[in-house]
C-alpha cells in the first residue's frame, strides 16, 4: 500500500512539475508576443519660428541634434510619456547663407542665460490626452503645453508657442535685439524681436 502511495505521489509531483513548466512556457510566449514601440533613430525633428520687426516677419530654424531617453511601451503614447530630451544649443541651424545669424543667436541670446549649453525637457500625457513638456531653459523649469497628433503610420507631430518671459529670457531677448538692431528694424523705423516662438516637433515610431 505504501509503495502505491509513493508511486502516486511521484506521479502527481511529475505532473505538477510538467504543468508548471508548460505554464511558464505559455507565459513566456505571451510576454514575447506583446508588441512594443520604439523611436526610429534620427527621426526626431525640432523646428522653431521666431519673429522680428513690428510686421512680425518669421525667422525659422532647427536643431540638428536631439538626444532622447525613453522606455519602449505597448502604444506610441506609452513610449512617449516620460520621454526625456536634451538639445545642445550648439546644434542650432537657421540656414543663413552669411553664416553670421547662428553665432549671433548663440552668443547674444543663449550665452546670456544660465546653464547655456542645453535645452532639456520631459514629456507627459494625462488621461484627457493633453500633452505638456516640463521644459528647462535659462535655469527655469516650467510646463509648456503642446498639441499633438498621431498619424496612421505612427508619426507623432507636436506644436506649441513658447512665451519667453515664462523662462525669464526677456533680458536675453533684449540682448539679441540690440545685436540685431538694424536687421530687426521695419519700415516704421522700430526695431523689435518678439517674445513668442512657435515650436514644431515630430518623431517616428516603429513596432518591434
Q: What's the chain's average pLDDT?
A: 88
- Burial, 45: exposed, middle or buried (Cβ in 10 Å; 0-12, 13-18, 19+)? middle
- Is the per-residue pLDDT at 10 higher than 50? no
The predicted-structure confidence for 175-202, as pLDDT tens digits, reads as follows 999 999 999 999 999 999 999 999 999 9
Strand spans (E) along the chain: 37-39, 45-52, 57-63, 67-69, 84-88, 92-93, 118-125, 131-137, 140-150, 155-163, 196-207
Strand spans (E) along 10-130: 37-39, 45-52, 57-63, 67-69, 84-88, 92-93, 118-125
Of the candidates 165, 168, 179, 166, the one whose C-alpha atom is nearest the C-alpha of residue 108 is 179
> Nearest 5°: CA angle at 88, between 202 and 204?
20
Tell me if the pTM is above 0.85.
no
Percent share of the chain, pLDDT over 90: 77
N- to C-terminal Cα separation, the chain = 57
Pairwise CA distance, residues 162 & 146, whole Å: 10
Of the candidates 176, 196, 77, 55, the one whose C-alpha atom is nearest the C-alpha of residue 130 is 77
User: Which pLDDT score, from 0 to 100, does residue 127 have?
Assistant: 81
Domain 37-207, what fold? Lipocalin (2.40.128)
Q: Are strands 118-125 and 45-52 parallel, antiparallel or unpaired?
A: unpaired
Cell output for 153 = 503610420
Amino acid at each position: 500500500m505504501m509503495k502505491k502511495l509513493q508511486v502516486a505521489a511521484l506521479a502527481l509531483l511529475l505532473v505538477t512539475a510538467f504543468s508548471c513548466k508548460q505554464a511558464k512556457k505559455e507565459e513566456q510566449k505571451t510576454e514575447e508576443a506583446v508588441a512594443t514601440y520604439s523611436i526610429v533613430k534620427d527621426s526626431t525633428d525640432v523646428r522653431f519660428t521666431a519673429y522680428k520687426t513690428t510686421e512680425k516677419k518669421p525667422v525659422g530654424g532647427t536643431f540638428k541634434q536631439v538626444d532622447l531617453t525613453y522606455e519602449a511601451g505597448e502604444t506610441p503614447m506609452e513610449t512617449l510619456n516620460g520621454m526625456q530630451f536634451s538639445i545642445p544649443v550648439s546644434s542650432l541651424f537657421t540656414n543663413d547663407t552669411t553664416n553670421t545669424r547662428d553665432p549671433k543667436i548663440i552668443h547674444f541670446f543663449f550665452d546670456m542665460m544660465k546653464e547655456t549649453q542645453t535645452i532639456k525637457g520631459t514629456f507627459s500625457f494625462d488621461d484627457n490626452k493633453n500633452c505638456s513638456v516640463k521644459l528647462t531653459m535659462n535655469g527655469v523649469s516650467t510646463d509648456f503645453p503642446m498639441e499633438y497628433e498621431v498619424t496612421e503610420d505612427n508619426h507623432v507631430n507636436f506644436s506649441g508657442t513658447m512665451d519667453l518671459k515664462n523662462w525669464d529670457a526677456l533680458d536675453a531677448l533684449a540682448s539679441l535685439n540690440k545685436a540685431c538692431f538694424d536687421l530687426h528694424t521695419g519700415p516704421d523705423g522700430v526695431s523689435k524681436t518678439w517674445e513668442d516662438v512657435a515650436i514644431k516637433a515630430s518623431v517616428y515610431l516603429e513596432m518591434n
